[in-house]
């Protein structure tokens, strides 16, 4: 069956746009998470029409379909749980239209996040959603996961900047929802589909808002002796109705590791730092920077450094944006988590994360969006050690349970995917999940789009992931790259 489908896909797209050999497929069984899922066929369409035809062919053979952007996702959302066809949107990477007057753009899903900003910055515009992987991640992937970033606090997540979508349904039909205006009439189908993690439709065009650059931007680095002091400052800043464009926190141990890598002048002996950005008219930005400085000093900041120019601001942000890469020098791999808690519970969460790391034998770094309580603990481990992998998964699950117990939730921006789907019952009742399942089934009645994601399967989370990981490793070792033929 698969051999026939491969032949039909090659006839549609060309041989250079279809991969089916094991050594090629191995490159697509990973994303930025700790999950593994190997497709049977990988295809690279260039047009919406080709995506539609791929869907029709896959459906005729009963093959599941998974869409993929740049593979930077952190919840396994773009990995196949049931083999099938993976549609990679890397070649659909054109900016189709820019309306400078009305601050809108239309892009294909394979456009890299920062490339859109680069294309319009000459006109004083930019695309606001800014995941830390924005130099690599694609806007289509951002739409699937409803990605956020450091500036979510002031500007919201991807859904707040998408006004229209062109999508392909499971029968191959091409439809459009929304448009170039902000408030379309009728049901907000854009809002429903953004963040649906590829389980309802395949997105082939995206209409987005562009934002105008602020007249002035002030970037501040506040240094504290403890996480608790830094947390109190964050709570007080927002209580005074100061809404920074961004408010990031890193613990002292993590910051020292980043400084080892960058040598940018960050302190090595602090408990935590806040990286805060305010912007607006020059006078307003200056006033907010002064107010933030006063709040931080009132809560024990030993130093508040204000970037004097754009270069110094970029250097400070480089420490935040390259943090995960810097930590990669300390262990063969890392597990980046994504949970949300109320800001006031940050000290409790940090203590519990430290305890869990100690109990399970891991050093855990903490880099997160303090302004909206979006945590990103980083577990450093060796995935080649089965025992370490099992303990890392257990530690991650316990951290997410802690987030829920503190009044938070499972994800702020990375999505549910197959990382957290078995934990969804911690947040939602059976009736909630059944209702959401009915909505998904209205778009994806046969369950062929990204199956096994978001919703619980009824098995233990760790059981599925650990067993699947070790089975994949064993299979790869037995066959070896280059020995596999096209899947049959």
**Strand, coil or helix: 333:** strand
> Is residue 478 predicted with pLDDT exceeding 90?
no
Q: For position 283, which CATH number holds?
A: 3.30.70.2190
CATH number at residue 347: 3.30.70.2740
Structure tokens at 325: 């890469």
- Pair (36, 111) in one structural domain: no
Q: The domain that contains 40 carries what CATH number?
A: 3.30.43.10
**pLDDT value for 349:** 94
Domain match, 199 and 220 both: no
Task: Please report, for residues 93, 248, 357, 359, 445, the alpha-carbon distance to residue 398 in angstroms, rounded to integers and kept in the order given.
Answer: 39, 23, 10, 11, 34
- What tokens does 372 get? 């909206």
Whether residue 468 is predicted with pLDDT greater than 60 in this model: the reply is no
Spatial contact of 440 and 199, defined as CB atoms under 8 Å apart = yes
Q: What is the pLDDT of residues 325-371, one digit of tens each?
A: 888 889 999 999 999 999 889 889 999 999 999 999 999 999 999 99
The verdict on residue 444 lying in a domain is no
Q: What is the pLDDT of residues 161-182, one digit of tens each?
A: 999 999 999 999 999 999 988 7
* pLDDT score for 186: 86
Do residues 471 and 67 lie in contact, with contact meaning Cβ atoms separated by under 8 Å?
A: no
Residue 336 domain flag: yes
Under 8 Å CB-to-CB from 420, ≥6 apart: which residues? 75, 400, 410, 411, 461
Is 14 inside any structural domain? yes
pLDDT at 252 over 50: yes
Report the chain's terminal Cα–Cα distance, integer Å.
6
Give the model confidence (pLDDT) of 414-440 as tens digits. 999 999 999 999 999 999 999 999 999
Residue 445: Cβ within 10 Å count: 10
Say how many domains are in the chain.
Answer: 4
pLDDT of 92-134, one tens digit each?
999 999 999 999 999 999 999 999 999 999 999 999 999 989 9
Which pLDDT score, from 0 to 100, does residue 185 have?
A: 78
Do 168 and 205 belong together in one domain?
yes
Of residues 479 and 69, more confidence is placed in: 69
What pLDDT, on a 0 to 100 scale, did the predictor assign at position 487? 30
Residues 200 and 133 in one domain: yes
99 and 208 housed in the same domain: yes
pLDDT (average), residues 30-40: 95
d(CA 119, CA 129): 15
pLDDT of residue 263: 86
Structural contact between residues 230 and 370, judged by C-beta atoms closer than 8 angstroms? yes
**Is 293 in the same domain as 220?**
yes
Q: Show which of 325, 359, 387 is a domain's final residue.
A: 325
Asked, for residue 486, whether it belongs to a domain, the answer is no
Length of the chain: 488
CA-to-CA distance for 38 and 30, rounded, in angstroms? 8
| Domain-embedded: residue 353 | yes
Q: How confident is the model at residue 464 (pLDDT cuts 50, 70, 90)?
A: low
In a domain, 352, yes or no: yes
Q: Which of 212, 242, 267 corresponds to the end of one domain?
A: 212
CATH number of the domain to which 127 belongs: 3.30.465.10
Structure tokens at 393: 């998964």
Q: Where are the beta strands (DSSP E) in 327-406?
A: 333-336, 339-340, 364-368, 374-375, 377-381
- Residue 113 sits in the same domain as residue 191: yes
| Shared domain check, 179 and 208 | yes
* Percent of the chain residues past pLDDT 70, beyond the cut: 93
State the residue range of the domain holding 313: 216-325
Q: What is the model's pLDDT at position 309?
A: 93
d(CA 364, CA 325): 15
Tell whether 431 and 398 lie within a shared domain: yes
pLDDT number for residue 406:
97
Closest CA to 213 of 306, 137, 120: 120
Per-chain mean pLDDT for the chain: 92
In this structure, are strands 85-88 and 65-68 parallel, antiparallel, or unpaired? parallel
46: Cα within 13 Å, side-chain hemisphere: 6
CA torsion angle 243 244 250 256 (round to 10)? -150
Residues 82 and 161 in one domain: no
CA–CA separation, 156 and 160 (whole Å): 6
Whose CA is closest to 384, among 477, 257, 478? 477
Question: Which of 273, 298, 325 is the last residue in one of the domains?
Answer: 325
**pLDDT computed for residue 324 by the predictor:** 84
d(C-alpha 275, C-alpha 92), whole Å: 35
Angle at 29 between CA 327 and CA 137, to 5 degrees: 55
104 found inside a domain: yes
CB 349, CB 386: distance < 8 Å: no
Same domain, 398 and 463: no
Q: Are 406 and 348 in contact (CB under 8 A)?
A: yes
Tokens of 146: 């409803």
Q: What is the pLDDT of residue 484?
A: 35
Helical H segments across 150-226, by residue range: 152-155, 189-193
Note the pLDDT of residue 196. 98
CB-based contact 291:231 (threshold 8 Å): no
Structural domain contains residue 125: yes
Alpha carbon distance 192, 196 (integer Å): 7
58 and 144 together in one domain: no
pLDDT at 63: 98
d(CA 4, CA 40) in angstroms, rounded, equals 13
Output the six-digit token pair for 158.
């991807």
């Amino acid at each position: 069956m698969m051999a026939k489908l491969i032949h039909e896909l090659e006839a549609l797209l060309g041989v250079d746009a279809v991969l089916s050999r094991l050594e090629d497929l191995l490159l697509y069984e990973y994303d930025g998470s700790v999950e593994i899922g190997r497709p049977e066929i990988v295809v690279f369409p260039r047009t919406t029409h080709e995506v539609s035809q791929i869907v029709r062919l896959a459906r005729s053979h009963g093959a599941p379909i998974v869409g993929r952007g740049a593979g930077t996702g952190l919840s396994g959302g773009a990995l196949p749980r049931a083999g099938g066809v993976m549609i990679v949107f890397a070649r659909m990477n054109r900016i189709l239209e820019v309306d400078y007057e009305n601050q809108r753009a239309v892009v294909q899903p394979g456009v890299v996040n920062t490339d859109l900003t680069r294309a319009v910055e000459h006109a004083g515009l930019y695309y606001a959603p800014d995941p830390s992987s924005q130099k690599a991640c694609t806007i289509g992937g951002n739409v699937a996961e409803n990605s956020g970033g450091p500036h979510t606090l002031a500007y919201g997540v991807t859904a707040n900047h998408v006004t229209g979508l062109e999508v392909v349904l499971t029968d191959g039909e091409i439809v459009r929802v929304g448009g170039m205006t902000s408030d379309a009439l009728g049901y907000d189908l854009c809002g429903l589909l953004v963040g649906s993690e590829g389980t309802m439709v395949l997105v082939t065009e995206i209409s987005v808002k562009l934002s105008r650059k602020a007249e002035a931007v002030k970037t501040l680095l506040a240094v504290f002796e403890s996480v608790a002091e830094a947390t109190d400052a964050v709570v007080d800043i927002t209580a005074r109705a100061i809404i920074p464009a961004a408010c990031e926190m890193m613990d002292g141990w993590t910051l020292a590791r980043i400084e080892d890598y960058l040598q940018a002048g960050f302190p090595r002996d602090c408990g935590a730092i806040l990286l805060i950005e305010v912007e607006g008219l020059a006078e307003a930005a200056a006033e907010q920077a002064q107010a933030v400085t006063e709040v931080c000093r009132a809560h024990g900041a030993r130093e508040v450094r204000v970037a004097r120019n754009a270069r110094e601001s970029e250097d400070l942000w480089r420490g935040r944006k390259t943090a995960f890469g810097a930590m990669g020098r300390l262990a063969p791999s890392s597990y980046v988590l994504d949970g949300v808690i109320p800001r006031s519970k940050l000290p409790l969460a940090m203590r519990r994360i430290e305890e869990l790391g100690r109990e399970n034998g891991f050093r855990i770094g903490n880099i997160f969006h303090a302004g909206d309580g979006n945590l990103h603990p980083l577990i450093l481990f060796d995935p080649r050690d089965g025992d370490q992998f099992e303990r890392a998964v257990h530690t991650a699950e316990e951290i997410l349970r802690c987030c829920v117990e503190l009044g938070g939730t499972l994800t702020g921006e990375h999505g549910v995917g197959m990382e957290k789907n078995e934990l969804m019952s911690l947040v939602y009742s059976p009736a909630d999940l059944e209702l959401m399942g009915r909505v998904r089934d209205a778009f994806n009645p046969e369950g062929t789009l990204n199956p096994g994601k978001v919703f619980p399967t009824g098995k233990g989370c760790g059981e599925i992931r650990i067993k699947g990981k070790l089975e994949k490793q064993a299979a790869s070792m037995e066959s070896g790259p280059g020995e596999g033929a096209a899947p049959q």
